[in-house]
C-alpha cells in the first residue's frame, strides 16, 4: 500500500517505538499525526518530520477523534499505529492474606483502559474514517498496526494487568481484521520483546541493567532497537498480503516466570 500523500496517526508517537514508526512513515511520504500526552517531545518530532502533534489521552474518545480530524486535514487517513501504552507490576495477592494487600483493582482497570480499550477505540474510529477512502487498485482503503507484547504469551510474575491488556490486543486481531476486510482495511499486531526505550532511563547503571536483560535474548543477545520494531510496522502497513497476523519481534526470547 502506497502511503505517499496520505495521512497516518501514531498513538504514543512522541518517543520510543512510536517515534521510530512516525519517522519511518514520514520517510514513506505520509503526513504523520503524533498523538501523545508528551507535548514538548511530540511537537519537536512533528516539526522534524513535517507532521502534526495532537494531545491525546487514548482513554478520551473526543481526543482520538480530534487526532483523526487533524489527520484528515493533511490527507486521506490510510494508516494507524497504536503504540500508546503503560505497564504495571503487582502480584495478584499479598503475603499477609489481607484483602487490602491484593492487586490494586483500580490500577488493573487503568492498564486495561489504556492498553486495550484505548487501542480498540482508536481502531474503530480510524477505521471508520478509512472506510470513506477511495480504494486503491487492489481494493485497499487503509491499514492498522496494533502493539501487543510477548507478555501476552509469556507473562511474568506480577504482570497480570499488563499481560491481560496485551492478550486482549492479540485476541482482537483476527476478529477485527475479519470485520474490516469488507471495507478493504487490513489489521495486524506486533508483539515486541525487550526493546530499548526511554522507560529504562539513561546512564551507566541503566546501560548495565539493559545489558543484563539482553543476556536472556536468544540471539542477538541485546535489547531490540526501536527502529527494528518500526521496520516491522512499515512492512505490515505496506505489504498488501499481511493481514490478521500477530508477529513476535523479540530476538527469539521466551520470558521466564520472573
CA 204 to chain centre: 28
Residues 100, 28 contacting (CB under 8 angstroms): no
CA–CA separation, 181 vs 204, rounded Å?
48
Burial of 66 (0-12, 13-18, 19+ CB in 10 A): middle
Catalytic pick from 108, 162, 200, 241? 162
Supply 191's cell numbers: 508483539
Which long-range CB contacts under 8 A does 201-209 form with residues at least 24 apart? Answer: none
CA distance 13 to 80: 11
Residue 162 annotated in active site: yes
Alpha-carbon distance values, 48 to 25, 51, 52, 231 (Å):
13, 8, 10, 19
DSSP letter assigned to residue 100: G
Residue 175: how many other CB atoms lie within 10 Å: 11
| Catalytic center residues | 162
Amino acid at each position: 500500500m502506497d502511503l505517499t500523500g496520505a495521512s497516518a496517526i501514531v498513538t504514543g508517537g512522541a518517543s520510543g517505538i512510536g517515534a521510530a514508526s512516525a519517522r519511518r512513515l514520514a520517510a514513506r511520504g505520509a503526513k504523520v499525526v503524533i498523538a501523545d500526552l508528551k507535548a514538548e517531545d511530540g511537537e519537536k518530532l512533528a516539526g522534524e518530520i513535517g507532521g502534526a502533534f495532537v494531545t491525546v489521552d487514548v482513554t478520551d474518545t473526543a481526543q482520538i477523534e480530534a487526532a483523526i480530524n487533524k489527520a484528515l486535514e493533511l490527507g486521506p487517513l490510510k494508516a494507524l499505529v497504536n503504540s500508546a501504552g503503560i505497564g504495571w507490576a503487582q502480584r495478584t495477592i499479598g503475603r499477609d492474606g489481607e484483602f487490602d494487600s491484593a492487586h490494586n483493582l483500580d490500577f488493573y482497570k487503568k492498564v486495561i483502559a489504556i492498553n486495550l480499550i484505548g487501542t480498540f477505540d482508536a481502531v474503530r474510529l480510524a477505521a471508520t474514517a478509512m472506510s470513506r477512502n477511495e480504494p486503491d487498485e487492489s481494493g485497499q482503503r487503509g491499514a492498522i498496526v496494533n502493539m501487543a507484547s510477548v507478555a501476552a504469551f509469556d507473562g511474568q510474575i506480577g504482570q497480570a494487568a499488563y499481560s491481560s491488556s496485551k492478550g486482549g490486543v492479540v485476541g482482537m486481531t483476527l476478529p477485527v481484521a475479519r470485520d474490516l476486510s469488507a471495507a478493504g482495511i487490513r489489521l495486524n499486531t506486533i508483539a515486541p520483546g525487550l526493546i530499548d526505550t526511554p522507560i529504562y532511563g539513561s546512564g551507566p547503571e541503566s546501560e548495565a541493567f539493559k545489558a543484563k536483560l539482553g543476556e536472556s535474548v536468544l540471539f542477538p543477545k541485546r535489547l531490540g532497537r526501536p527502529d527494528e520494531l518500526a521496520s516491522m510496522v512499515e512492512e505490515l502497513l505496506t505489504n498488501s498480503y499481511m493481514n490478521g497476523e500477530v508477529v513476535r519481534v523479540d530476538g527469539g526470547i521466551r520470558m521466564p516466570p520472573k
